[in-house]
């Protein structure tokens, strides 16, 4: 009831709160300076005002949730940074507790108030800068009593916990015991009432990705990067010496890392604890290895999860597999145990962005808690933030129990839909069937890392579905020239880790050569078409759809997979290749920031690719910790540039004496990279100097990231299954005939769902002049980037997560988890 709400505004420099109000701002805001952003909440369908107020001449913000936020890690530094800065932004006191629960029990210097500058320069650092430790003391009542005493001394009643299932379960137990612990500590009723409630929000930091209720945990993608780096390095020596390598990866009793890395590198065999091989697997594995060698493959890769077991729950070791291969096949075989290499290294771009988003969401969740709010975990469902009750997520014990009782199908389901879809995709890529229909696959547009993984997946899933697969070289230019040939199972071996486009790709559109393309389709009897590419691929499918009225050859099922570093295709949140480009940008920015930190008082202007789409500049800026990012979608003028210069001038007065500014290549016709460089150089004279760097086509190159390999592999498999279904539905009287809108689709990831969308229905959502979608989901991340760079701005909370039960956290008909 806004009319009766009278906030007690204290001396706080600033705070943020959200209230539901009438159409006009409430009268009780008079006398305060207010920055308000009005939005419509899709979830509540009510108008909200998000207000940032500054009220001088008072001493504190009297609210039940600003007594202090506590943060201890067992995860990513990006999450630490996001929680600290978002907490400070909303006016909270934020404390860092060093050495985890041990620091909470010991107190003293382990509990320190965090500062804005104190969490700078940590995005690119692996591990955790504030330490983490296992704590036996916290498992005892006496230890938790000490911990409660130390928290009360600092007025801390809100905990943001980053860790695995053990850490989060311990935090929930601590919360349940809180009132009893306080009763032992204090006698004064008002003191008990003041700290009577302990609020907890968790973020899952674990390389194992074994937490129920989330598609991806902080740290998993970075661990996959380490595994794939090792596999790519090993494959060169294995190729040279015709060796078999047996690799053991971590994950305890969870096979996620083993399964996904096997998909990403195209391993010959994978062993995971959730789905032990059937009896007699040794003979089948040796037969497959031998068949692959006979198919001119010079190496074999076997990936084993450290907890791998057989159907009798007997461990399967790497030495056992090595001796088996040597004895039965005589292959030169080596064992490599990756060990703790997987836990280290520089965090990936995906993990930085995930941790930053989750950190901000965790603070918002704490601000919305009440005495009756259960502890929750902020997590990721598809591409959307959600909140799930903490104790519903900690179900790993149920998985272990199912495996112990040999209920392996149930164990796979308990791991979640992401794990289940990964396993289904791996099985699809392992079997072959007789020929049925003819399907052509081609690349269109600029090269994007992950294209080859998508082609490999399409070819092998197509063959496993019983189709004859045809590869078209050089896009539609090669199509009308007749550069079409059958591509077989072994032809795509080793393609997953290759960058660029091995098929060749061109930007040529089919409109001028429709007749010749139709002739080639008739000649090769093409029954379905899979196009993998960027914005040009969308235009190609639209032209082929329109050509159906003239040429019956195009009345076949057609599907497009978005593959472009620009991520500018309408109908999808993510595109194949964008993650690899982001990692290239972030790696370069890390090196540049290191240079700037050494020279001091230096600002770098970085130009990214993307055409008119500002995705790379915005999300790359968020992952690299940039001070600003200029994009076409958010127009800017000389006043904005001047404000950024003034912001950097103030920043140089702090301990962080460096700056990083990103600019999308087509963000403005007049405010070019050279202009911005010259302006910053002139206006920053005497305070900082300036340098510029145009990244250029290095963003298109390099080996695909684990995310792009798996994203390409799995959505390509899903597209081929869809094409198979459409071929059966549209096969009549000895031929395929498909002329409806829903037979020519783009497969894209929308929030939580992978959706097949007719391309003609995407025309209204597209700005064809600038080659971008009319609405961009990632624009909601821009305020987050500005907040973490210490700008005064409003943050729209209308799209923040809501508490959802694990069993209801995904729509029934969606497969968003396929993308993870």
Measure the CA–CA gap between 89 and 83, rounded to whole angstroms: 10
Q: Would you say residue 811 lies in a domain? A: no
Contacts for 594 with CB less than 8 Å, ≥ 6 apart: none
pLDDT at 405: 84
Instruction: Looking at the structure, tell me whether residues 193 and 96 fall in a common domain.
Output: yes
CATH at residue 111: 3.40.50.450
Measure the CA–CA gap between 536 and 555, rounded to whole angstroms: 20
Instruction: Looking at the structure, tell me whether residues 48 and 73 fall in a common domain.
Output: no
Which residue in the block uniquely carries the two structure tokens 């145990």?
337
- In DSSP notation, 218-265 reads BTHHHHHHHHHHHHHHHHHHHHHHT-EEEEEE--TT--HHHHHHHHHH
Helix/strand/coil for 15: strand
Instruction: Looking at the structure, tell me whether residues 181 and 164 fall in a common domain.
Output: yes
Name the binding residues for beta-D-fructose 2,6-bisphosphate: 507, 564-568, 602, 609-611, 665, 691, 697-700, 771
pLDDT at 251: 83
Measure the CA–CA gap between 479 and 473, rounded to whole angstroms: 7
pLDDT at 407: 86
pLDDT at 79: 94
Instruction: Looking at the structure, tell me whether residues 14 and 80 fall in a common domain.
Output: no
φ, ψ of residue 601 in degrees (nearest 5): 50, 50
Name the binding residues: 68, 134-135, 164-167, 206-208, 243, 250-252, 306, 334, 340-343, 507, 564-568, 602, 609-611, 665, 691, 697-700, 771
Contact 687, 426 (CB under 8 A): no
Q: What is the pTM of this model?
A: 0.84
Residue among 67, 106, 208, 215 flagged as catalytic:
208
Number of domains in the chain: 5
Q: Would you say residue 805 lies in a domain? A: no
Instruction: Return the half-sphere exposure (C-beta side, CA atoms, 13 A cut-off) of residue 220.
Output: 27
Q: Would you say residue 400 lies in a domain? A: no
Q: Would you say residue 686 lies in a domain? A: yes
Q: Would you say residue 793 lies in a domain? A: no
Counting DSSP H helices and E strands in the chain, the numbers are: 24, 30
Instruction: Looking at the structure, tell me whether residues 536 and 451 fall in a common domain.
Output: yes
Measure the CA–CA gap between 791 and 632, rounded to whole angstroms: 20
- In DSSP notation, 537-574 reads HHHHHHHHHHGGGT-GGG-S-EEEEEB-TT---TT-S-
Instruction: Looking at the structure, tell me whether residues 329 and 356 fall in a common domain.
Output: no
Q: Would you say residue 559 lies in a domain? A: yes
Instruction: Looking at the structure, tell me whether residues 231 and 336 fall in a common domain.
Output: yes
pLDDT along the chain (820 residues), means of 10: 34 35 36 32 33 31 37 67 94 92 93 93 88 87 92 90 85 90 74 78 88 84 94 89 93 90 92 92 93 86 93 92 95 93 90 93 90 85 84 72 84 83 84 77 96 96 93 96 94 92 95 95 96 97 96 96 97 96 95 84 96 97 96 96 95 92 96 97 94 93 93 96 94 90 95 91 96 95 92 69 55 46
Instruction: Return the half-sphere exposure (C-beta side, CA atoms, 13 A cut-off) of residue 790.
Output: 17
Q: What is the span of the domain harbouring residue 714?
A: 429-565+709-741+755-775
Q: Would you say residue 694 lies in a domain? A: yes
What's the token pair of residue 725?
């279904």
Name the binding residues for Mg(2+): 165
Name the binding residues for substrate: 206-208, 243, 250-252, 306, 334, 340-343
Instruction: Looking at the structure, tell me whether residues 228 and 209 fall in a common domain.
Output: no
Instruction: Return the half-sphere exposure (C-beta side, CA atoms, 13 A cut-off) of residue 418.
Output: 28
Measure the CA–CA gap between 270 and 247, rounded to whole angstroms: 10
Instruction: Looking at the structure, tell me whether residues 189 and 167 fall in a common domain.
Output: yes
Closest C-alpha among 666, 560, 559, 680 to residue 610: 666
208 is catalytic: yes
Which residue in the block uniquely carries the two structure tokens 């968003």?
816
pLDDT at 193: 64
CATH at residue 279: 3.40.50.460
Contact 760, 1 (CB under 8 A): no
Instruction: Looking at the structure, tell me whether residues 436 and 538 fall in a common domain.
Output: yes
Q: How far, CA to CA in Å, does 691 sit from each of 70, 601, 630, 699?
A: 39, 11, 16, 20
Closest C-alpha among 348, 380, 393 to residue 220: 348
Q: Would you say residue 423 lies in a domain? A: no
Measure the CA–CA gap between 574 and 357, rounded to whole angstroms: 16
Instruction: Looking at the structure, tell me whether residues 610 and 732 fall in a common domain.
Output: no
Percentage helix, strand, coil for the chain under 3-state DSSP, each rounded to 5: 45, 20, 35
Instruction: Looking at the structure, tell me whether residues 192 and 208 fall in a common domain.
Output: yes
pLDDT at 395: 62
Count of C-beta atoms within a 10 Å radius of residue 234: 18
Burial class, 662, CB count within 10 angstroms (exposed 0-12 / middle 13-18 / buried 19+)? buried
């Amino acid at each position: 009831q806004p009319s009766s709400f009278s906030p007690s505004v204290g001396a706080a420099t600033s705070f943020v709160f959200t209230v539901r109000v009438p159409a006009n701002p409430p009268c009780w805001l008079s006398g305060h300076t207010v920055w308000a952003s009005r939005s419509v909440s899709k979830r509540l369908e009510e108008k909200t005002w998000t207000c940032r107020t500054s009220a001088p001449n008072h001493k504190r913000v009297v609210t039940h949730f600003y007594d202090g936020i506590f943060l201890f890690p067992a995860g990513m530094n990006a999450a630490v940074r996001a929680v600290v800065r978002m907490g400070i932004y909303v006016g909270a006191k934020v404390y860092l507790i060093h050495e985890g629960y041990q620091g909470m029990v010991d107190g003293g210097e382990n509990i320190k108030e965090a500062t804005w500058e104190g969490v700078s320069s940590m995005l690119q650092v692996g591990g955790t800068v504030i330490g983490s430790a296992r704590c036996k003391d916290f498992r005892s009542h006496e230890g938790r009593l000490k911990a409660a005493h130390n928290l009360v001394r600092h007025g801390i009643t809100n905990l943001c916990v980053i860790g695995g299932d053990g850490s989060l379960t311990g935090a929930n137990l601590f919360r349940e015991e809180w009132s009893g612990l306080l009763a032992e500590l204090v006698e004064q009723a008002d003191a008990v009432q003041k700290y009577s409630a302990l609020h907890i929000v968790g973020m899952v930091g674990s390389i194992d990705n074994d937490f129920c209720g989330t598609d991806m945990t902080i740290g998993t993608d970075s661990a996959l990067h380490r595994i794939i780096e090792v596999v790519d390095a090993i494959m060169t020596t294995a190729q040279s010496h015709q060796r078999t390598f047996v690799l053991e990866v971590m994950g305890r009793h969870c096979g996620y890392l083993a399964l996904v890395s096997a998909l990403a590198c195209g391993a010959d065999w994978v062993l995971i604890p959730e789905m032990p091989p059937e009896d007699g697997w040794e003979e089948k594995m040796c037969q497959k290895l031998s068949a692959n060698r006979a198919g001119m493959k010079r190496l074999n890769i076997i990936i084993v999860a450290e907890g791998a077991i057989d159907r009798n729950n007997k461990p399967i070791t790497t030495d056992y597999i090595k001796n088996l291969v040597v004895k039965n096949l005589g292959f030169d075989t080596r064992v490599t145990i990756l060990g703790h290499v997987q836990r280290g290294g520089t965090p990936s771009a995906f993990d930085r962005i995930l941790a930053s988003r989750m950190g901000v969401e965790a603070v918002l969740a704490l601000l919305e808690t009440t005495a009756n709010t259960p502890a929750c975990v902020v997590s990721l469902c598809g591409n959307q933030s959600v909140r799930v009750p903490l104790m519903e997520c900690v179900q790993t014990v149920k998985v272990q129990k199912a495996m112990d009782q040999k209920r392996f199908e149930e164990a796979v389901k308990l791991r979640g839909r992401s794990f289940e879809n990964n396993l289904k995709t791996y099985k699809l890529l392992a079997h072959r069937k007789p020929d049925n229909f003819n399907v052509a696959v081609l690349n269109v547009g600029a090269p994007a890392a992950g294209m080859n993984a998508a082609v490999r997946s399409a070819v092998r899933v197509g063959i496993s579905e019983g189709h004859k697969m045809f590869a078209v070289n050089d896009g539609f230019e090669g199509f009308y020239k007749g550069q079409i040939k059958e591509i077989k199972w072994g032809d795509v071996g080793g393609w997953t880790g290759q960058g660029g486009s091995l098929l060749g790709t061109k930007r040529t559109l089919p409109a001028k050569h429709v007749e010749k393309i139709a002739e080639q389709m008739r000649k090769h009897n093409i029954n379905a078409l899979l196009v993998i590419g960027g914005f040009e691929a969308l235009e190609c499918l639209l032209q082929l759809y329109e050509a159906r009225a003239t040429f019956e050859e195009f009345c076949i099922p057609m599907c497009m997979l978005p593959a472009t570093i620009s991520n500018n295709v309408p109908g999808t949140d993510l595109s194949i290749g964008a993650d690899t480009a982001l990692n290239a940008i972030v790696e370069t920015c890390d090196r540049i920031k290191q240079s700037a930190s050494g020279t001091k008082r230096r600002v770098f202007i970085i130009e990214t690719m993307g055409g008119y789409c500002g995705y790379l500049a915005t999300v790359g800026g968020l992952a690299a910790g940039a001070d600003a990012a200029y994009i076409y979608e958010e127009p800017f003028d000389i006043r904005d540039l001047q404000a950024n210069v003034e912001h950097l001038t103030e920043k140089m007065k702090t301990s962080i004496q460096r700056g990083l500014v990103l600019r999308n290549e087509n963000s403005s016709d007049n405010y070019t990279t050279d202009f911005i460089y010259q302006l910053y150089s002139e206006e920053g004279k005497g305070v900082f100097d300036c340098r510029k760097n145009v990244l250029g086509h290095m963003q298109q190159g390099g080996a695909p990231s684990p995310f792009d390999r798996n994203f390409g592999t799995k959505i390509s498999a899903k597209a081929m299954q869809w094409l198979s279904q459409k071929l059966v539905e549209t096969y009549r009287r000895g031929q395929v005939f498909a002329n409806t809108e829903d037979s020519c689709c783009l497969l894209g990831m929308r929030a939580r769902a992978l959706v097949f969308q007719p391309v003609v229905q995407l025309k209204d959502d597209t700005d064809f002049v600038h080659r971008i979608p009319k609405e961009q989901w990632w624009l909601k991340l821009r305020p987050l980037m500005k907040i973490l760079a210490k700008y005064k701005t409003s943050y729209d909370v209308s799209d923040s997560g809501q508490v959802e039960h694990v069993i209801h956290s995904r729509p029934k008909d969606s497969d968003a988890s396929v993308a993870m």
